[in-house]
Amino acid sequence: MIKQTIMALACAVVSLPAFAADGADAALIKKGEYLSRAGDCVACHTVKGGKPYAGGLGLDSPLGMIYSTNITPDKDTGIGNYTLEDFDRAVRHGVAKDGHTLYPAMPYTSYAKVSPDDVKALYAYFMQGVAPVRQENRDTDIVWPLSMRWPLTVWRWVYAPDVADAVPASASAADQAVMLRGKYLVEGLGHCGACHTPRGVGLQEKALTDADGTAFLSGGVIEGWLAKNLRGDSADGLGSWSQADIVAFLKSGRNSHSAAFGGMAQVVADSTQHLSDEDLNAIAAYLKSLKPVDEKANAKLAYDDKAAQDLRVGRDTSNGALQFLNNCAACHRSTGKGYAETFPQLALSSTVNSSDPTSLIHIVLKGGQMPATQAAPTAYGMPGFDWRLNDAEVADVVTFVRGSWGNKGAAVTASDVAKVRKEIGADPGPKR
């Protein structure tokens, strides 16, 4: 009897953190959960079909495969023994509990911007709102001597910024407060720059904030996709998107200009669709404040009907036009205008007009699928053409798209296509 009572008491104590969360704690955990969405921690710390946050997802780096770690509160294999200070050191400073520097595959150079209060909420969530999972961490596949951690420490000294301090930047006007909130989310938890900012010789992001220069969010290639320019450039950036267009894209994964694909489909699915309208508006307002990379050459593109007319009457018999009619026009239409929020327009699209054609080639080879979101549950897809079109044919159709309906993208060659095909491991395609 006494034994049972002790057992019952022991159980009650063990499970205390999860159940005894009073109002204040519960609110903090909830806030931490929201912030974990904003930071998209799940994307890297969960394998497909695996337990949330148990780690083990392989992230390809130029050095080799790096595996994310178990960040559930399991005491032996996760971060159950981390104090708030240990957690903060990992998340914002890039240093694990035992003192080794983390690979910057963990975007701590962005998370450095997160406020101490928000780190506290995240900690509360990871300790009390996440189920512990027993799962050992995997070592990297990086071979010695590249696997030594000390060069990472040097890297951190050189490239990591100072972490945010506790004093919030004071804002007078309300719209300035909105802008600052957007900046905070974009630079910090959102780690948008981890994909959207080009990298330098040390694989560091060339700019961590707008104050570092227009390289910030000017576009970077990640996992074989171009994470596009998010600055004010009209042809290849967000210059022709309104604030509401950006909000719609982040909330539903699509808008009248484009639909999310590649890495962005996952960002929308696990992160941005869960953010509040206020936060999405703040992000959009901040992005709209970013000056174009090239202010002089920032003319808006204008729709031109000629390609549509030529296709309609069969006047254009070039290989590119024929490939387009055979493979693409059913969905994207001969006008290049597609069907809004179903088959995105190719006319005046920033994907199509980006000087780097990586995404355009990639999506033609492997296809894509929009994220299914609460706001737009249907995940329309595009088939891949890697097995059907050879390098020259892909180059022809992509070049046709880049030169039609007012688009001004430069021609793409068969060797550009061959390079992307190899990098992304697409089907070698037909020999003709």
Residues flagged as binding site for heme c: 41, 44-45, 192, 195-196, 328, 331-332
Give the residue with the Cβ less far from ligand HEC, 42 or 177: 42
Q: Which residues are annotated as a binding site?
A: 41, 44-45, 192, 195-196, 328, 331-332
Q: 98 CB contacts (<8 Å, ≥6 apart)?
A: none
Q: Would the CA dihedral through 347, 351, 355, 357 be positive or negative?
A: negative
Among 121, 248, 283, 426, binds ligand HEC (CB under 6 A): 283
Q: CA torsion angle for 318, 319, 323, 324 (degrees, to 10)?
A: -30
CB atoms < 10 A from the CB of 295, how many? 10
Q: Would the CA dihedral through 140, 47, 86, 157 be positive or negative?
A: positive
Give the residue with the Cβ less far from ligand HEC, 41 or 160: 41
Rounded CA-CA distance 335/346 in Å is 9
Give the residue with the Cβ less far from ligand HEC, 176 or 326: 326
Which is nearest to 299 in space by CA: 232, 201, 226, 362? 232
Give the residue with the Cβ less far from ligand HEC, 21 or 329: 329
User: Judged by CB under 6 A, how many residues of this single chain contact ligand HEC?
Assistant: 76
CA 93 vs CA 108, 161, 202, 308, 384: distances in Å: 6, 9, 18, 54, 41
Stretch that binds ligand HEC, among 128-136, 162-170, 193-201, 411-419 (CB under 6 A): 193-201
Q: Using CB under 6 A, which residues numbered 336 to 375 contact ligand HEC? A: 343-344, 346, 349-352, 359-360, 363-364, 368-370
Q: Using CB under 6 A, which residues numbered 293 to 322 contact ligand HEC? A: none
Structure tokens at 397: 């159709």
Give the residue with the Cβ less far from ligand HEC, 10 or 427: 427
Q: 140 CB contacts (<8 Å, ≥6 apart)?
A: 64, 65, 66, 67, 103, 147
Give the residue with the Cβ less far from ligand HEC, 23 or 235: 235
**To the nearest whole angstrom, how small is the minimum distance from the Cβ of residue 140 to ligand HEC?**
7
Structure tokens at 148: 């030594």
Which is nearest to 370 in space by CA: 284, 283, 288, 248? 248
Do residues 268 and 262 make contact, with C-beta atoms less than 8 angstroms apart?
A: no
Rounded CA-CA distance 250/244 in Å is 10
Window 129-168: contact mask with ligand HEC (x via CB under 6 A): ----------------------------------------
**Is 128 an interacting residue with respect to ligand HEC (CB under 6 A)?**
no
Q: Using CB under 6 A, which residues numbered 62 to 121 contact ligand HEC? A: 66, 68-69, 71, 79, 87, 90-91, 96-97, 102-103, 105-107
Among 198, 249, 404, 409, binds ligand HEC (CB under 6 A): 249
Give the residue with the Cβ less far from ligand HEC, 19 or 144: 144
Window 13-52: contact mask with ligand HEC (x via CB under 6 A): -----------------------x--xxx-xxx-------
